[in-house]
Each structure stands twice: as structure tokens, then as C-alpha cells.
Amino acid sequence: GPAGETGPPPPLHSVQVSAIPDDISVCGWSPRPEASGDENGIDLAVLLARNSKCRQGSMGCAIASAAGVVVAIGINSPFWGSLSAKRPSSDVHAEVNAMAACTRRGVSTQGGTAYITMPPCKRCFTVLATAGIKRIVMRREIAKQDVEIRAAALSLGIALVVVEDTDERRGHVQRLVLSVKRKREALEGTGREGGGAGIHWPPGMGFS
């Protein structure tokens, strides 16, 4: 089983209203009963990543409490240079922004789960581990060369869980995005009938 995993994964059943900033879109996401908690969490992270415009790739992270409530989110973002650039640099990773949101709001992350679109780098793993995160759920395995992360997770009892994309969940995410796109066009009075081919997936994030 996944490194450090003990017992069944927790459910993901709700989101704190204050966890999602007004300038971040999740396209009407809500946990689906037919999907597992980890699948729901990864789908949310994928939708979050669409908000990033960083040229090195788009990343999303959702932090859930041990009780299965999403308490904070983050995307990768610029810090140095021009913050208004069309394709800014990815200076702050999604995990760090999510942890910073918890700090600003006084939210405990002890025993929580991090849902991230990409495996964490060494620095982000350190941030998650020292914040008390006990489960890291991602869309692909940590690279074999990252032996230090694997060893640290094992010694600290942190579960490293992989939830791969499926055709059914890709379709669900695309339908959420398309629904929001059509509503926006209707409000703008364009009347265009958007198709799935018109959905923009930021570089480095998409479904591979």
C-alpha cells in the first residue's frame, strides 16, 4: 500500500466557505458521493490549477482537515518580478500558498491531507511534513530519484497516495468547466455554443 498509509482514506464531504478566495474559480465543484474522497480532492486540485497562469506550469493544492473538510487552497504564483505579466514566473508553489492561507486564517493542518496536481518538490514536502500533514495525494508517483522524500515519508508516517486520472473523471471536470464557460458567455450576451474543444487547459497541468 501507499507509504505510511494506515486504515481507509478519510471522506471528503465539505468545504469551508472561507477556504476559497473570491478570485479563485472551482467551476461549481462539490464532492460527489460516487467518487472516493481522494478522487474528489484531486478533481478539486485540477480545477484549482486552471486559475494559475505561470509559465512553468499550473499547479493546484487543496488542504483537507482530518475530518474531511477542505480548509484551504493554493495555486502556484509569482513573487518576484512583474506580478501582472501575462505568463508570470512560478515563484511560490501551490503547497506553500495553501499552507500560508492556513497560517493567515489560524487553521490547524495537523493530521490533514494535501491534494496536489503534481508530486511535491523537496521543499514543499518539507513544508507539508512540518505542518503536520499526514497524507499527500497526487496524480502520479514521486520520482524514483527522490529517495529522500520517500524515506522521510516512511519514517514520519506520511502516506503517499497516487490517484490517477480516469476518463470518467476527466469528463466530469470538463463538464464543470464547460458549464461555467457557457454561463459566462450567456451573461456576456455572446450566445455562442461552446464545445469541449474550446476548453483551455494551462500548460503543464492537463490530463496526460
All domains of the chain in start order, with CATH = 14-79+87-185 (3.40.140.10)
207 vs 57, which has greater pLDDT? 57
3-state helix, strand, coil in the chain (%, to 5): 35, 15, 50
3-state DSSP assignment of residue 103: helix
3-state DSSP assignment of residue 77: strand
- pLDDT for 112 equals 96
- pTM to 2 decimals? 0.82
* Beta-bridge mates of residue 63: 72, 114
pLDDT-based confidence at residue 194 (cuts at 50, 70, 90): very low
pLDDT at residue 90 above 80? no
Strands (E), 59-191: 60-64, 69-75, 113-116, 135-138, 159-162
Pairing of strands 14-15, 69-75: parallel
pLDDT in tens, 11-66: 787 888 889 988 888 988 999 999 999 999 999 999 999 888 877 778 999 999 99
pLDDT-based confidence at residue 127 (cuts at 50, 70, 90): very high
